[in-house]
Amino acid sequence: MACVLEAPLRMSVLSEVTASSRHYVDRLFDLDPQKVLQGVIDMKNAVIGNNKQKANLIVLGAVPRLLYLLQQESSSTELRTECAVVLGSLAMGTENNVKSLLDCHIIPALLQGLLSPDLKFIEACLRCLRTIFISPVTPEDLLYTGPDHQTILFNHGAVQNIAHLLVSTSYKVRMQALKCFSVLAFENPQVSMTLVNVSVDGELLPQIFVKMLQRDKPIEMQLTSAKCLTSMCRAGAIRTDDSCIVLKTLPCLVRMCSKERLLEERVEGAETLAYLIETDVELQRIASITDHLIVMLADYFKYPSSVSAITDIKRLDHDLKHAHELRQAAFKLYASLGANDEDIRKKIIETENMMDRIVNGLSESSIKVRLAAVRCLHSLSRSVQQLRTSFQDHAVWKPLMKVLQNAPNEILIVASSTLCNLLLEFSPSKEPILESGAIELLCSLTQSENLALRVNGIWALMNMAFQAEQKIKSDILRGLSTEQLFQLLSDSDVNVLMKTLGLLRNLLSTRPHIDHIMSTHGKQIMQAVTLILEGEHNIEVKEQTLCILANIADGTTAKELIMTNDDILQKIKYYMSHSNAKLQLAAMFCISNLIWNEEEGSQERQDKLRDMGIVDILHKLSQSSDPNLCDKAKTALQQYLA
């Protein structure tokens, strides 16, 4: 019986709760406009700071009615304004409140309100919009977020209209204008190039931003100004060696990484600095020796502090909340710092427990931290020295291979790039990676719809095949399948094509391997070579293809596949007389390998090629002004004389 009574009990509680709120909603439907207005005002006073009341009113259907009144032209401006204020107050409640408002299509109604001539109503709509958009449950794409939207704002005079607000007497106004510029300029060269030349009261914007960077200014202002200058620098609007970047922006951002700053400021400072120096070697070097930055960043991994040291629960909660953001920011900045310089990479790796931190970062629950850790590992994996030492000592290939299983594309792209480096021939990680099933994984990447993943998959296989034993080469060919190889050779992207040709070239090296592979896949490989030499491809692609032919010609039995293919021989002859010296040289390598007289059957091959007119071309090339062509032709002719 108790189970039967449970539902009615709940219903009575709900009806008690909502009954006290119902009269607020009923008054919204009164025929007297003055009573409606008073009802909205009373509702406003009832919901301030009262989440329970807010939830009740939403359940009772107050939102659709408030939005209806807000959009009616017959409603007085005062009523419309009060409706916007109440809606804004409802939005300040729980995330569920915001979801309910979004479900009622509040955004278009508020945006429409911005067209009103009444400033108080516009302000109420803007406040409500702001509250909704700072909620994590609001989809970002509902408002201006991408480059197209930046351009729309730019084309409507946003820069000119906001610029004068930077010298407003109100700090709040100056800050909002500054924030607006930092968002408008981010990754937008058009806006950045314009900002450089805008002046306010005779002073250019970059000079105003630099003044806002000064130590006596509030931290929020320093950081946001640094972000504006960073975006302008990355867009090419300000040179990387400009004093406002080297002497002002960079030191300011390093300051933001210090222990004295709040955790939020340290996160933003490190991420902005990572973006500023990401592509510039000199800025990376300057940053690495400013205020012991590399050591300073190690502190980012020490949050939350040990619980025993924290008596304040709020502090612990705050530290926990920001701990993953700090690790993410530190990994990002380490990745930028170590992108090019070997000495900086060494300093990073020698920082306390650095490799352990990266390994731990690779298995974190936060995707953002995992991605940043992989980026950091990728940056450090460019070091030959570290691949041979630290990477091997910490067996980083194990967690990396784990990351490559079922990761989102953005992580897969960076992780597979890192794997390419770990598979270079001098890397001790190469063998254990092979034993852990990497071939199958990489072959599957070559079938991805994502271009970067296809490139990385084939690139890693190319590195794997370099100077590899025959079994590995056979496993690669088996894993790829002839069909997939042809698919890659006909890929529309030249990077995929070049890496696939590089793979073929590495597979077809050392005579026993060449002969073995051509005995099993010769027909298909010759078909692919013909296809490329006949197609509309650039010089580099055709040169690589001719080099593959030269490798085949170096085989003992494999060279017969060329000698019995008149079509291929005619193509080699054609490229010997080509206008491009690189192609001529590659074609001559083929001929040299075919006619080398120490090898069995060389006389017959020489005779056949003489009959084709090859010797005449060699005589002609021996007179070439290009020393490489001349030497190669003379060496080939000596084979006929020997």
378, 421 in Cβ contact below 8 A? yes
pLDDT for 454-473, tens place per residue?
A: 999 999 999 999 999 999 99
Q: What confidence score (pLDDT) does residue 395 get?
A: 83
| Cα-based distances in Å from 355 to 274, 394, 397, 424 | 19, 7, 12, 20
User: Dihedral angle at the C-alpha atoms of 227, 232, 235, 240, nearest 10 degrees?
Assistant: -100
Q: What confidence score (pLDDT) does residue 7 get?
A: 37
pTM, 2 dp: 0.78
Q: What confidence score (pLDDT) does residue 544 get?
A: 95
Q: What confidence score (pLDDT) does residue 141 get?
A: 66
pLDDT for 362-408, tens place per residue?
A: 999 899 999 999 999 999 998 888 877 787 777 888 899 999 988 89
For residue 493, what is the DSSP state? -
Q: What confidence score (pLDDT) does residue 8 get?
A: 38
pLDDT for 570-614, tens place per residue?
A: 999 999 999 999 999 999 999 999 998 888 888 999 999 999 999
Q: What confidence score (pLDDT) does residue 6 get?
A: 36
Q: Tell me, what amino acid is at 449?
A: E
- Buried b / exposed e across 182-218, counting CB within 10 Å, b at 16+? bbbbbebebbbebbeebeeeeeebbebbbebbeeeee
Q: What confidence score (pLDDT) does residue 599 get?
A: 82
507, 516 in Cβ contact below 8 A? no
Q: What confidence score (pLDDT) does residue 602 get?
A: 87
Q: What confidence score (pLDDT) does residue 294 get?
A: 96
Residue 13 above 70 pLDDT?
Answer: no
Q: What confidence score (pLDDT) does residue 563 get?
A: 95
Q: What confidence score (pLDDT) does residue 406 get?
A: 81
At 613, is the secondary structure helix, strand, or coil?
coil
How far, in Å, CA of 52 to CA of 43, rounded? 13
Mean per-residue pLDDT for 197-206? 93
Residue 535 above 90 pLDDT?
Answer: no
pLDDT for 426-459, tens place per residue?
A: 778 888 888 888 999 999 999 999 999 999 999 9
pLDDT for 473-500, tens place per residue?
A: 999 999 998 889 889 998 999 999 999 9
**Who's near 386: CB < 8 A, 6+ residues apart?**
345, 346, 349, 380
C-alpha dihedral sign at 227, 228, 234, 238: negative
Residue 12 above 70 pLDDT?
Answer: no
State the pLDDT confidence band at 15, using cuts at 50, 70 and 90.
very low
Q: What confidence score (pLDDT) does residue 315 get?
A: 72
Q: What confidence score (pLDDT) does residue 312 get?
A: 67
167, 201 in Cβ contact below 8 A? yes
Mean per-residue pLDDT for 311-322? 73
Q: How far does Cα 474 stand from its chain's mean position?
A: 34
Q: What confidence score (pLDDT) does residue 642 get?
A: 64
Q: What confidence score (pLDDT) does residue 311 get?
A: 60
pLDDT for 264-277, tens place per residue?
A: 999 999 999 999 99
Annotate 167-220 with three-state secondary structure.
HCCCHHHHHHHHHHHHHHHCCCHHHHHHHHHCEECCEEHHHHHHHHCCCCCCHH
Q: What confidence score (pLDDT) does residue 444 get?
A: 94
pLDDT for 134-143, tens place per residue?
A: 998 988 666 6
How far, in Å, CA of 621 to CA of 287, rounded? 54
The rounded mean pLDDT for the chain is: 90
pLDDT for 230-244, tens place per residue?
A: 999 999 999 999 999
Q: What confidence score (pLDDT) does residue 322 get?
A: 86
For residue 565, what is the DSSP state? -
State the pLDDT confidence band at 501, using cuts at 50, 70 and 90.
very high
pLDDT for 340-368, tens place per residue?
A: 999 999 999 999 889 999 999 999 989 99
Q: What confidence score (pLDDT) does residue 225 get?
A: 97
State the pLDDT confidence band at 145, using cuts at 50, 70 and 90.
low
Residue 1 above 70 pLDDT?
Answer: no
Beta bridge pairs of residue 199 = 204
Of all residues in the chain, the percent with pLDDT exceeding 90 is 72
Q: Which of 493, 525, 496 is nearest to 508 (CA)?
A: 525
State the pLDDT confidence band at 2, using cuts at 50, 70 and 90.
very low
Pairing of strands 203-204, 199-200: antiparallel
pLDDT for 115-132, tens place per residue?
A: 999 999 999 999 999 999
| Cα-based distances in Å from 634 to 94, 427, 638 | 84, 40, 6
Mean per-residue pLDDT for 191-215? 94
How far, in Å, CA of 203 to CA of 601, rounded? 82
